[in-house]
């Protein structure tokens, strides 16, 4: 069952989503060679709690941290640890919060210092994939229109689209119906209706699309060991536009300082 949100509920999801965006900006300020990913997790948890919310991932199916931090060939669900960031790494940080009974969810892949051109291109194209998916998140389109826009752009650029993990509806639950795959056919799947709120989150691999789960039971890694990128926005479907509830503006302000 897909639950369409009232305007009041969309505003509550926006509040949670903006807190996620600001938390990711705090992360952006902290990222530098030498910092341990567990320290990034700690500052995010403090920031969320200081703003009257709870980290959505901590305790979710037993996940022990506030952030999923996935380095280089890790796709998603990476665990914060004492590993130190190095110049040239790319770091995907996924964050969710729960506030006023509603969730917000967003992810961003950060460069650590200077990264090589092939990684920079992967980040750029993955971000374009997200924006192309969002452009179809309007009443009257179908889920498959979002999916195919993402897949076509990624594959045109020679990249692999992860299939095992997908975007999702979001609201009073972190993961709701419908599923929002990053691959699929135009004109297929559920019709989008005003008030639906979904998280669109392309996970794009520099090489092949296949992934595997690490022994920790969480971390998803590319099988070929090549890097992967992940960007995510929480969006509300409207009649003639997409209402993007999360934002990368705070992150970019922090990165451009
Ligand atoms: Mg997420
Ligand atoms: Mg999500």
Q: Say what the pLDDT of residue 123 is.
A: 98
> At the top level of CATH, which class does the domain 7-255 belong to?
alpha beta
Tokens of 195: 């008030």
Q: Which numbered ligand comes closest to the C-alpha of 95?
A: 1
First-to-last C-alpha distance (Å) of the chain: 44
Q: Which numbered ligand comes closest to the C-alpha of 230?
A: 1
Q: What is the pLDDT of residues 192-226, one digit of tens each?
A: 999 999 999 999 999 999 999 999 999 999 999 99
Residue ranges with strand state E in the chain: 54-55, 67-71, 74-76, 90-99, 102-111, 160-161, 167-169, 176-180, 197-200, 203-205, 211-213, 220-222, 228-230, 233-237, 242-244
Q: What is the pLDDT of residues 145-180, one digit of tens each?
A: 999 999 999 999 999 999 999 999 999 999 999 999
CA of 167 to the centre of ligand 2 (A): 6
Q: For the residues 9-26, what does the mean pLDDT come to?
A: 98
CA of 67 to the centre of ligand 2 (A): 12
Q: Which numbered ligand comes closest to the C-alpha of 106?
A: 1
Q: Say what the pLDDT of residue 125 is.
A: 98
Q: Say what the pLDDT of residue 1 is.
A: 85
What share of the chain in percent tops pLDDT 70?
100
Q: For the residues 4-13, what does the mean pLDDT come to?
A: 98
Q: What is the pLDDT of residues 92-136, one digit of tens each?
A: 999 999 999 999 999 999 999 999 999 999 999 999 999 999 999
Q: What is the pLDDT of residues 44-82, one digit of tens each?
A: 999 999 999 999 999 999 999 999 999 999 999 999 999
CA of 182 to the centre of ligand 1 (A): 14
Q: Is the pLDDT assigned to residue 257 strictly greater than 90? A: no
Q: Is the pLDDT assigned to residue 7 strictly greater than 90? A: yes
Phi, psi of 198, deg, nearest 5: -135, 155
Task: Name the one residue in this structure whose structure tokens are 């979001």.
Answer: 170
Sign of CA dihedral 243, 251, 157, 181: negative
CA of 106 to the centre of ligand 1 (A): 5
* pLDDT band of 249, cuts 50, 70, 90: very high
CA of 72 to the centre of ligand 2 (A): 19
Beta strands 160-161 and 176-180: pairing type?
unpaired
Q: For the residues 235-241, what does the mean pLDDT come to?
A: 97
CA of 235 to the centre of ligand 1 (A): 12
> Which residues are registered as beta bridge partners of 110?
91
Q: Which numbered ligand comes closest to the C-alpha of 170?
A: 2
């Amino acid at each position: 069952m897909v639950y369409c949100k009232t305007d009041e509920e969309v505003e509550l999801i926006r509040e949670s989503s903006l807190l996620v965006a600001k938390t990711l900006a705090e992360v952006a300020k902290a990222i530098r060679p030498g910092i341990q990913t567990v320290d990034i997790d700690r500052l995010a948890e403090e920031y969320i709690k200081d703003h009257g919310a709870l980290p959505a991932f901590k305790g979710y199916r037993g996940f022990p941290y506030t952030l999923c931090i996935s380095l280089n060939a890790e796709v998603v669900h990476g665990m914060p640890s004492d590993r130190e960031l190095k110049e040239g790494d790319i770091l995907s940080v996924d964050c969710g919060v729960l506030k006023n009974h509603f969730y917000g969810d967003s992810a961003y892949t950060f460069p650590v210092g200077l990264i090589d051109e092939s990684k920079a291109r992967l980040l750029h194209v993955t971000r374009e994939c997200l924006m192309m998916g969002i452009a179809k998140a309007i009443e009257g389109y179908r889920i498959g229109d979002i999916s195919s826009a993402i897949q076509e752009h990624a594959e045109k650029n020679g990249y692999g689209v992860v299939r095992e993990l997908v975007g999702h509806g979001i609201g009073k639950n972190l993961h709701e119906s419908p599923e929002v795959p990053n691959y699929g056919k135009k004109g297929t799947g559920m019709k989008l209706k005003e008030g639906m709120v979904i998280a669109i989150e392309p996970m794009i691999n520099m090489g092949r699309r296949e992934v595997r789960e690490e022994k920790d039971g969480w971390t998803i890694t590319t099988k070929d060991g090549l890097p992967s990128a992940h960007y995510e926005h929480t969006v509300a479907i409207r009649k003639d536009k997409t209402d993007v509830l999360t934002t990368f503006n705070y992150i970019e302000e922090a990165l451009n300082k």
